[in-house]
Every structure is written in structure tokens, then in C-alpha cells.
Amino acid sequence: MNVESFNLDHRTVVAPYVRIADRKELPGGDVLTKLDVRFTQPNVAHLASEAVHSLEHMMAEHMRNHSNDVLDVSPMGCRTGFYVLLVGDHTPEAFAPVLEATMRDLIAADDVPAANEIQCGWGAHHTLEGAQTAAQEFLDQRDSWGQVTAS
């Protein structure tokens, strides 16, 4: 299939983890790296919709404080994690400190950035507490981010 994640056997992964979902070299020679940042076990657990929305806002804002290579942070429709699109040839190991610092920022945050009807298409659909709980649970399992499958 054309979509990389559709070729991933979601029964074999062990969340949370961070893995390369795609890497593309553009015609001009620039490289884009797409990371799969998986918070919950596929087909077993998922993040609440409001928490996903708030995590998206918070990660998109705070992650850019730790890396100039961040192009986009997008939630997965299955609500089990996020894709992070970066400029450059990145590895999960090299990106982990950026992700860890971002999670620490989220846990310490006082609000969800742009969670209002002026800056967001569904400004009332947020939960700071839900996002912080998910970020803390993800961070608590930091040592397992490098293990994508059970074997």
C-alpha cells in the first residue's frame, strides 16, 4: 500500500514508542523525516479526543522551542499518537531529547495555546489536564520509546 503505516502490522508494536515512519529526499536534496510518536497501544487503547486536540496544540507550540526542524505535528485519526514531520535526516534516538523536553513543558504548562474560537476551529474542545496526564504517562515510559516491537 502507498501509506507506510498501512503496511505496519499494528498487532506487533508495543507502545509507547518513537519510530521513523517515512523519510523522503526532495528533488533539491533536502530530506524530510516523519516520526511515528505512539502514545497508546493500537487497537487496545486510545487517547480521548479532547486530549489529542490539546496535545496537538501544545506539542506544535512547545516542540518548536526545542528544534527549528519541526514542520508539523499531526494527530493520528486512530487517536493513538502523532506524526512529527521534520526537516533533515533525523533518528528517533536523536529526536528523543526534543520530545522529552516538550513533554516536560506540557506537564508544566498553565494553558493550552490557541484554545479559543479565534485561533482554533473548535476552541472549546480541549483539556489541559487530559493532555498533561497523557504527556506524563508517555514520559514515565521514556526508557521504552526505542522499542517498537515485542521481539
pLDDT at 137: 98
Average pLDDT (10-21) is 97
Superfamily of domain 4-142: S-ribosylhomocysteinase (LuxS) (3.30.1360.80)
**Is the backbone of residue 29 left (phi > 0), alpha (psi -120 to 50) or beta?**
left
pLDDT tens figures, 42-61: 999 999 999 999 999 999 99
pTM of the predicted protein model: 0.97
The residues pairing with 30 across neighbouring beta strands, listed in sequence order, are none
pLDDT at 116: 98
Is it the case that residue 150 has pLDDT exceeding 90?
no
CB count, 10 Å around CB of 56?
A: 17
Find all residues with CB under 8 Å of 15, minimum gap 6, and list them.
Answer: 38, 39, 40, 41, 42, 80, 81
Q: Where are the domains positioned within the chain?
A: 4-142
